[in-house]
Chain A
Amino acid sequence: EPEVTQTPSHQVTQMGQEVILRCVPISNHLYFYWYRQILGQKVEFLVSFYNNEISEKSEIFDDQFSVERPDGSNFTLKIRSTKLEDSAMYFCASSEFRGLGEKLFFGSGTQLSVL
């Protein structure tokens, strides 16, 4: 079964450093998403991306965050200057159509720790 893959599985960084989280969505999918989950809290929507531009973003997704699809297979989330509160599990997701529920496939996540 096709799956969304994320790298790295764990990322440790110093506060103020830039990090790039990488995702390879399912190959025929056109819609891409980032969610995050702070330890012990809810999974939260960050951003959706389609046709090389952001479709929707949450209030969490401020100017420190950016997304990019640099080539035909990767989808990245960049945090420009990390803060302690950015420590969380970051999930990438993709879907073939603009959809939710069963049409949304999540990766296993990148655990980001900001020290």
Chain B
Amino acid sequence: GESVGLHLPTLSVQEGDNSIINCAYSNSASDYFIWYKQESGKGPQFIIDIRSNMDKRQGQRVTVLLNKTVKHLSLQIAATQPGDSAVYFCAEPALYNTDKLIFGTGTRLQVFP
């Protein structure tokens, strides 16, 4: 069956360091992945997405890497700031032609000075 999961529930980093949040998926047919950020008291907010025909995609201070061989993706945040503190979810569509997103369990990123 499909599942999207994360390796670590909590990640603590020092301000200015780079953060790497990991996610594993089980369905080799998955072709689209999304990273969401959820700040306390708010709903998920889109960060970046990647399609399976790409290995890497960059945004502003964020990079997503996709390794289809081991069914793993990661979110890299450069120069982590206190405002990056949040829970980060990877997500993927449940099936082709579906409205349903499957979310991972989330990683809480804590940034300390």
Q: Which residues of A contact B (CB under 8 A)?
A: 4, 31, 33, 35, 41-45, 48, 55-56, 58, 91, 93, 98, 100-102, 104-109
Contact = CB atoms under 8 A, between A and B. Distances in A.
A14 to B, nearest CB: 25
A42 B101 contact: no
Contacts, number: 58
Contact of A45 (B32, B89, B94): B94
Contacts of A108: 41-43
Please tell me the size bucket of the interface on B. Answer: 20 to 34
Contact of B46 (A35, A55, A58, A101): A101
Interface of B: 32, 34, 41-46, 49, 89, 91, 93-94, 98-106
A31 B43 contact: no
A42 B44 contact: no
A108 B42 CA distance: 4
B43 A102 contact: no
A100 B93 contact: yes
B103 A102 contact: no
B106 A98 contact: no
9 contacts: A42-B103, A45-B94, A56-B100, A100-B91, A101-B49, A102-B49, A104-B46, A106-B44, A107-B43
A100 B105 contact: no
